[in-house]
A and B are shown apart, each in its own frame.
Chain A
Amino acid sequence: MNIKKYLYRLASFKLTIICLTGSLILVFLGTLSQVTNGVYFAVKTYFQSFFVTAQIGELHIPYFPGGYFFAILFLLNLIGAYTFYFKISRHKIALFLLHLGLVLFIFGEAVNVLFTDESQMSIKVGQARNYSEIYRQTELVLIDKSNPDYDQFTNIPEKQIREGKEIAANSIPFKLKIKKTYANAKLTLKKNSNAIDHTASQGVGANLFIEPLPKTNADNQINDFTAFVEVIDNEKSYGVWLLSGAIDRPQTINYNEREYEFLIRPKRIFYPFSIELTDFKKEIYPGTNIPKSFQSSVKIYNNLGEFDRQTEIFMNNPLYYQGKTFYQASFGDNDTLSIFQVVNNPGWLLPYIASGLVAISMLLQFILRFYSFQGKNRS
C-alpha cells in the first residue's frame, strides 16, 4: 500500500532533520528580513504563515514553507515517530515527556496567535481611561448626539468597511455607503501628482486631497485607513465625507434636525473598570540621561465607579487585573504621559508548562545518559 510507505516517510528521522534544518533556515531568513522590514512584517510573512511569498506585481509566489507549515510537519513527524517507531517504555519516558513539552509549545503559540489581543493604553497624569487601543486596526464610530443626556455610539469594525457596501444599523436612521477605501493614505491641502482628484463634498474633506500610500508593516508606523463615505437614505444623498485615521476630529452630519458625529479612530477595547494615572516618575542615573526606572502610580475603579485599589506599575512589574495584564511600555509628553501595553493571552500559562516539562525531561535524560556513559567507561 502506497499510503503506508508515505506514512513511514512522514514519521522518519530524516524528515525530522529536514524539518529542523528547514526551520533553522526559515528563522535565519526571517531575521535578516527584519533589518529592512521590521519585526512585525517578518513575523507575519515568515513565521505566522503557511508559505513565505514573494510579491511579483499582483501575484504572491510562495517560495519557502512558512512557520505554520513546519509546525504542522513537526507535529505529524513526532506523532508518526511515536506511532511507528518509538515505544514509550520506562527508559524512554524522559524523551517522551520532552517531546510532549515541544508539542505544548507549538500548541501554546497557536493559542497565542488565535486568541491574543494586544493593545495600548495611554493615560495622562490625572486622567482615567476605561479602554485601550489597537493601533493596527481601526473602526468607524458614529455618535448620535441628539439626546442631551447621553451620546449613543455605534462602532463599525474596519473589516465591514468595504467599497460599494451599504452599512445600516438599527441605531441610525440613515445608511452609510462606502464609496472608496484606502488601506493607507496621506491627506494634503495641495494637489500634487500623486493626489486623487476625488474630493468629498462635506466636512473637512471638502478641502483636502488624498495621496494613497502602500500599506506599511514597519514597526513604528501605522496605517491611516481612509474612506469616502456617503450618507444616504431611501430618498436622497446627503453628501460624501472623507473619513480617515489621519483625521482625529469627528465630523458632523445634520439629519432631520438631529446632530450626528462620525470619525475613524484606532479600534478600542472597553473594560468594565477604569484606571486613573495618579503619578508618573522617571528616575535617571545621576548626572546622565540613562533611565534607571520608570514607574506609574495608578488607581483602579470598578464599573460602578467605586475605588478598588491603588498600585504601582513599572518595568518588570506589571499589573494583573481581571484576566488582563498591564505592562509599563513607554512614556511621553515630558513624563506626564504613561503608556501601558495591555495583553490578554488566555494561553499564557502554556509556554511555562511546556518549558518546565522540556527542561526537566532534558535534565533527566542527560543525567541518565551520563550515568550509563560512566558505566561504559568503567567497563
Chain B
Amino acid sequence: MKKLIIFALLHLTTLSQTGFAETENKFDLEAAKRLPAQEDGRIKPLDTIARNLLLMIHGKQTLLYKNKKITPIKWLLDMTMDPGTSKQYPVFRIDHPEVLSLINKSQKDGKYYSFKDILSHIDRIQKLAIAASEIPENDLDQYQNAVLMLAQQIYVYERLNNTLVLAESQNPQKDIEKLNFFLQNPKKNLKNDSVIKELRTIINEESMLSNLAYFQNLTPLENSDESRWYNMGEGYLLSLNNLYMNPDLQLYAAMIDAYQQKNSVSFNANLHNLQKIISTKHPNIASSMSMEVYYNKIQPFYIAIIVYLFSFILTVISWIYLPKRLYKIALSLLIIGFFIHTLGLISRMIIEGRPPVTNLYSSAVFVGWGSVLMAIILEKIYKNSFGIAVSSIIGSLTLIIAHHLASKGETMEMMRAVLNSNFWLSTHVVTITIGYSATFLAGFIGCLYIIKQAIIKNFDQKLSREMGKMVYGVISFALFFSFVGTVLGGVWADQSWGRFWGWDPKENGALLIILWNATVLHAAHFRLITTRVFMVLAVFGNIITSFSWFGVNMLGVGLHSYGATDRAFFWLTIFILSQILFMVLGATNFHSNRRCDN
C-alpha cells in the first residue's frame, strides 16, 4: 500500500512538471526549445536562454498576460521574431513606490508592467541609472538599487528585441531575397547603382543588428565546438563577405517570416529542416540540447525540495503517532528525494562537463547532497529517525538556498581562467564542500538534540549518549575533510599564485572551520564538557561554516572574491541569529548535568 502511495506521489510531481508537449496554435514550440545558441560563451538550448532571461527580468519562469500563461519559449520567440507583439506583456517587475512613480504608476496598479508602459520614461530611467552607477556600491540606497536593476533589465530587454530582427520592423525574407539576387552575379551587380543602394541599407541594418544581438544563433562554418557562433546580423554580413549564404541563415529568416505571418506550417517545415542540418553537422550538440531541455522541464531540485519536506513532516509526526509506519514511509521518501537530487546533480555535471561544484549555486546543491548522504548512512547505523529528520531539513534548506541563488538566471556560467581546472575543482572544491556538509550535519543534529532536551522531561541518557557519539563521529569526519580540502586549496594556490597560504579571507574561513572542529573535538575528548554543551558547540559550527561559505564572499576582499550576492546577506544574518537562539536554548539547563560520555 505504501509503495503505491510513493509511486503515485512520484508520478504526480513529475507529471505536473512535464505537462504535455508544447504546441501553441500548432507551432512546434517543443522543437524550437531545442534550437541551440551560444550565449555567454556556452552553447545552450533556446529554452534555457528563455527561462534565464525571463527569470532575470520577470522574477518567475512563467508570464501571465490577460489571464493566459505565456511559456518562456513563446515569450522568447515573440521577443526575438515578432518584437511588436511582446510590447504588451507585463514582464517588468517593479515594487519600489518611487520607481513606480517614475513611470507614473503607483502600488495600486500592481507590480508587473509592460515595455509599452515604461517606453516613454526610458530616457529618464537611464539618466538616473547612470548617475547611480557613479556611486560606490555600498553607499547605494534601495531606490538607487531598484533603478539600476530596472535599467539593467531594460537594457537586456532591448537587446533581446534586436537579436534576430531589428525591433523597428525588418523583413528578413526580403533581405535574404535581395542578398541572394546580389550573390547570383556579384561582379555584374556591383556595377548596378540601385542594387548598391539597397545593399548599403541592408549592410547598415545588419551591422546594427550584429552589435545589439543578445545571443549567437548561427553555427560557425568550421566544425569545432570551441569557435564563436554568429548572430543574424553577422550572418547577413558574412554572406556578403564570403559570397556564400549559410543555409541556417536562410532557414531562420524563413522561420521568422512565417512566425510574423502566423503561418505555423511554414514555420514548422523550416524549423525541422534546420534541426536536420544541425543534427547532421553537430550531432553532439543536438543530443545535449535535448538533454538540457528535459532537465529544464523536470526541475529535479524543485521536486526534491517537496519530497524532502514531506519526509520531514512525516518524521516529525512519527514521533507522536504511528511511529513504525510513518518512519518507513519517511525513510522511503528521503531516499527517493536523494535519488532525484542525485539525478539532478549528475545531469548538471554532464551538461556542463564539469565536476559537481563550480559556483555558489552548485556548492549549495552539493552541500545538501553530501549532508543527506551522510545522514542516510547515519540512519542506517543508528536507526533512530534523527538521520531522516536532519537530512530532510538540510536537503530542503540547501536546495531552497540554491533556488534563490539562481535568481540572476544562468547557473552554468563559464569558469574564469584561474578556476579553469577540472582537477582542482573536483579535488579541492569537492572536499571542502564535503567538509561543509559534515559540519552542517553535526550542527543540525545539535539543533535537534537541543529541541528534544528542552521539550522532553526525562531525556533518555542512552539516546543522549548515542547522539553524542553520532556528532563526535560526524565532526571527526568534518575535520578530516575540511583539513584535506584546505590543504588541497593550498597546493592549488601554490601552483597558481606562488604561495601555499596567503591569509586570504576564504582561506581564513576554511581555517576557522578546522580550528573550531578541532577545538570541539579536543574539548569532548578530554571530557571537559557535557553532551549538552557539546551539542551547543556543534551548533556554533553552523555559524562558522556559513560565515566561511557565504560571509567571506560578501566581504569582497582578496583573491577569492568571486560569487558574492547582496540579498543573501540578510538571510545569512537571519540564519546566524536562529543558530544563536538554538545555542541559548541549549545553554539553558532544563535538567541535570552529566559528563560527556565517549
B and A form one assembly: yes
In the complex, the chain B residue whose C-beta lies closest to that of A105 is B501
A316 interfacial by beta-carbon distance below 8 Å: yes
Kindly list chain A residues whose C-beta atoms are within 8 Å of the C-beta of B420: 292-293, 315-316
Q: A287–B555 contact, CB under 8 A?
A: no
The answer to whether A34 and B555 touch across the interface, beta carbons within 8 angstroms, is: yes
A369 to B575, CA, bound (A): 34
A287 in contact with B229 given A27-B511, A369-B476 (CB within 8 Å): yes
| Residues B344-393 near A (CB distance < 8 A) | none
Contact between B516 and A14, CB atoms less than 8 A apart: no
Q: Interface size of A by Cβ–Cβ distance < 8 Å?
A: 57
Main secondary structure of the interface of A (DSSP, over half): helix
Q: Give complex CA distance A294, B518 in Å.
A: 40
Q: Which of B54-62, B73-81, B502-510, B581-589 contacts A (4 or more CB under 8 A)?
A: B502-510
Given A39-B558, A359-B487; A287-B503 close (CB under 8 Å): no
| Closest Cβ–Cβ distance, residue A123 to chain B (whole Å) | 17
- Residues on A with beta carbons closer than 8 Å to the beta carbon of B38: 286-287
Do B498 and A316 touch across chains, with their CB atoms under 8 A apart?
no
C-alpha spacing A73/B266, complex, angstroms: 81
Q: Is B512 a contact partner of A28 (Cβ separation < 8 A)?
A: yes
Contact B421 A316 (CB under 8 A): yes
- Is B570 interfacial (CB-CB < 8 Å)? no
Name which of B480, B500, B519, B526 has the most chain A CB atoms within 10 A of its CB.
B500
- Closest approach, in angstroms, between the C-beta of B338 and any C-beta of chain A? 23
B267 at the interface (CB under 8 A from A): no
Residue of B nearest to A47 (CB): B503
Q: In the bound complex, how far is the Cα of B498 from the Cα of A352, in angstroms?
A: 14
Q: Which of A13, A31, A288 has the most CB of B within 10 A?
A: A31
The count of chain B contact residues (Cβ–Cβ below 8 Å) is 60
Contact B498–A27 (Cβ < 8 Å): no
A237 close to chain B: CB less than 8 A: no
The answer, yes or no, to whether A7 is at the interface (CB within 8 Å) is no
B494 within 8 A of A: yes
Residues on B with beta carbons closer than 8 Å to the beta carbon of A288: 40-41, 414
Write out the residue numbers on chain A whose beta carbons fall within 8 Å of the beta carbon of B557. Answer: 34-35, 38-39
Q: Does A297 count as interface, using CB distance less than 8 angstroms?
A: no
Q: Does B216 contact A (CB under 8 A)?
A: yes
| Residues 11-48 (chain A) with a chain B CB within 8 angstroms | 13-14, 16-17, 20-21, 23-24, 27-28, 30-32, 34-35, 38-39, 42-43, 47
Bound-state Cα–Cα, A27 to B513, Å: 11
How far does the alpha carbon of A20 sit from the alpha carbon of B479 in the complex, in Å? 14
| A-contact bits for B220-248, CB 8 A (1 contact / 0 none) | 00000011110000000000000000000
Q: Which residue of B has the minimal Cβ distance to A282?
A: B417
Select from chain A the residue with minimum beta-carbon distance to B486: A355
On whether the beta carbons of A358 and B483 are closer than 8 Å, the reply is: yes
The yes or no answer to B11 lying at the interface (CB within 8 A) is: no
Q: How many whole Å from A201's CB to the nearest CB in chain B?
A: 43
B511 to chain A: which residues have CB within 8 Å?
A: 27
Residues in B107-145 with C-beta less than 8 Å from chain A: none
Which of A21, A31, A290, A341 is B519 in contact with, Cβ under 8 Å?
A: A21
Q: How far is the CB of B56 from chain A (nearest CB, A)?
A: 16
Knowing A288-B40, A315-B417, A316-B424, the reply to whether A30 touches B503 (Cβ < 8 A) is yes
B568 interfacial by beta-carbon distance below 8 Å: no
Interface residues as binary, A88-126 with B (CB distance below 8 Å gives 1, 0 otherwise): 000000000000000000001100100000100000000
Contacts A285-B40, A316-B424 hold; do A293 and B417 have CB atoms under 8 A apart? yes
Which residues of chain A (331-379) have a CB below 8 Å from chain B?
341-343, 345, 348, 351-352, 355, 358-359, 362-363, 366, 369-370, 373
Complex partner residue of A325 from B216, B498, B518, B519, CB under 8 angstroms: B498
B491 CB-CB contact with A under 8 Å: yes
**CB atoms of A287 and B39 under 8 A apart:** yes
Contact B518 A286 (CB under 8 A): no
Are A287 and B519 closer than 8 Å at their CB atoms?
no
Q: Are B503 and A43 in contact (CB under 8 A)?
A: yes
**CA of A43 to CA of B504, assembled, Å:** 9
What is the chain A residue whose CB lies nearest that of B552? A31
Task: Report if A292-B417 is in contact (Cβ < 8 Å); known contacts: A16-B522, A17-B528, A24-B512.
Answer: yes
Nearest CB to that of A35 among chain B residues?
B555
Is B337 interfacial (CB-CB < 8 Å)?
no
B473 neighbours in A (Cβ, 8 Å): 370, 373
- A291 interface hit (Cβ, 8 Å): yes
Asked whether B522 lies within 8 Å of A285 as measured between CB atoms, the reply is no
Contacts of A118 in B (CB 8 A): 498-499
* Residues of B close to A17: CB separation below 8 A: 519, 522-523, 528
Is there an interface contact between B418 and A315, defined as CB atoms closer than 8 Å?
Answer: yes
Docked CA distance A317–B418 (Å)? 11
Q: Which of A16, A23, A341 is B497 in contact with, Cβ under 8 Å? A: A341
Q: Tell me if A209 is interfacial: C-beta within 8 Å of chain B.
A: no
Check if B416 is an interface residue, CB within 8 A of chain A: yes
Q: Shortest Cβ distance from A118 into chain B, in angstroms?
A: 7
Which residues of the partner chain A approach B522 to less than 8 Å between Cβ atoms?
Answer: 13, 16-17, 20
Contact B480 A362 (CB under 8 A): yes
A312 → chain B closest CB, angstroms: 14
C-alpha spacing A112/B494, complex, angstroms = 13
Q: Are B480 and A363 in contact (CB under 8 A)?
A: yes
Report B-chain residues with C-beta under 8 Å of the C-beta of A42: 503
For B502, what are the chain A residues with a Cβ–Cβ distance below 8 Å? 39, 43
Contact A27 B515 (CB under 8 A): yes
Q: Which of B40, B417, B484, B497 has the most chain A CB within a 10 Å cutoff?
A: B417
Residue of B with least CB distance to A38: B557
B496 contacts the other chain (CB 8 A): yes
Interchain CB contact under 8 A, B496 and A290: no
- In Å, the complex CA distance between A47 and B452 comes to 41
Contacts of B503 in A (CB 8 A): 30, 39, 42-43, 47
The CA of A273 and the CA of B421, in the complex, are separated in Å by 31
A118–B497 alpha-carbon span in the complex (Å): 11
Residues B57-115 near A (CB distance < 8 A): none
Q: Can you name 12 A-B residue pairings with CB atoms under 8 Å?
A: A14-B528, A17-B523, A20-B519, A23-B515, A27-B512, A28-B508, A31-B509, A47-B503, A286-B226, A316-B492, A348-B494, A352-B491
Q: Which 5 A-B pairs have the closest CB atoms?
A: A285-B41, A286-B228, A343-B498, A355-B487, A20-B519
Q: Please give the residue numbers on chain B whose beta carbons come within 8 Å of chain A beta carbons, in ascending order.
A: 38-42, 215-216, 226-229, 413-414, 416-418, 420-421, 424, 469, 473, 476-477, 479-480, 483-484, 487, 490-492, 494-505, 508-509, 511-512, 515-516, 518-519, 522-523, 526, 528, 552, 555-558
List the interface of chain A (C-beta within 8 A of B). 13-14, 16-17, 20-21, 23-24, 27-28, 30-32, 34-35, 38-39, 42-43, 47, 108-109, 112, 118, 284-288, 290-294, 315-318, 325, 327, 329, 341-343, 345, 348, 351-352, 355, 358-359, 362-363, 366, 369-370, 373
Known contacts A112-B500, A290-B40, A355-B491; 20 further A-B pairs (Cβ under 8 A):
A13-B528, A17-B523, A24-B515, A24-B519, A30-B503, A34-B555, A35-B557, A38-B557, A39-B503, A286-B38, A287-B215, A287-B229, A292-B416, A325-B498, A351-B494, A351-B501, A352-B500, A358-B483, A359-B487, A362-B480
